Amino acid sequence: MQQTLALIHPNAQIGKDVVIGPFVTIEEDVVIGDGTRIDANACILKGSRIGKNCHICSGAIIAGEPQDLKFRGEYSTAEIGDNTTIREFVTVNRGTASRGKTVVGNNCLIMAYSHIAHDCILKNNIIISNASQIAGEVEIDDFATIGGGTLMHQFSKIGSHVMIQGGSHINKDVPPYAVVGRIPTVFAGINLIGLRRRGFSAEQIEEIQNIYRILFNSGLNITEALNKIEAEVADSEEKRVIVEFIKSSDRGIVKGK
């Protein structure tokens, strides 16, 4: 159902059974998937690509121009996956020449007043809690949960199944399965509750704990700890994910307690 009070560009591609509330703005070069709902006063700007069965709440702005002084009007997009909810007054900027797009994946929940800057890549099943501010070119992996009021430095990387406590200041990479918090941000354990909810076995969880004991409690530096993990810990998917993440980190990972 399209509202007569909405402003919809005739070239926008709108799928079946899309519900559009009053005073919504939908510009040209927009694609909206089937079954999506867009509430009053939302702005869906040029370059928006919204998947199926999404919910874009009142006051949200999708594909606003990047807040980057290097931006020169180059073509870019903001992509929202299927079954994702964008709550009130969230802003998702489109990409720049760096990556050309900002991406929020499938089955995500972005809570009210949060900001996702240019060229961020958020994968699937991610929760961003209220008023979190995600700077440019941040990468967040599957099943991460970001607590309310979190501030995240540009280029930071967040691993899968991470839990970031509310009010945290993130200026280092956060490795998979970890819980981090406090100011300055430190490692606070592994995400036991999240891992159990997602079906990780007791053996898998124990292995993850053992890896982090070596990383943070052995008195070794990161290089020495990685060598010890690779030599002494049995091969597994969890080991591979953690080791590859740390080796690929440009900013370095958060510190232990």
Among residues 33, 64, 81, 136, which one is catalytic?
136
- Look at the block and give the residue holding tokens 């982090």: 212
CA atoms of 198 and 70, how far apart (whole Å): 41
CA atoms of 21 and 61, how far apart (whole Å): 14
Q: Is 118 noted as a catalytic residue in this protein?
A: yes
Helix (H, G, I), strand (E, B) or coil at 128: strand
Q: Is 15 noted as a catalytic residue in this protein?
A: no
Cβ–Cβ under 8 Å, residues 106 and 87: no
CA atoms of 23 and 45, how far apart (whole Å): 14
CA atoms of 63 and 78, how far apart (whole Å): 5
Among residues 68, 119, 141, 142, which one is catalytic?
119
Among residues 118, 142, 148, 161, which one is catalytic?
118
Q: Is 136 noted as a catalytic residue in this protein?
A: yes
Backbone angles phi, psi at 105, to 5 degrees: -80, -160
| Catalytic (active-site) positions | 118-119, 136
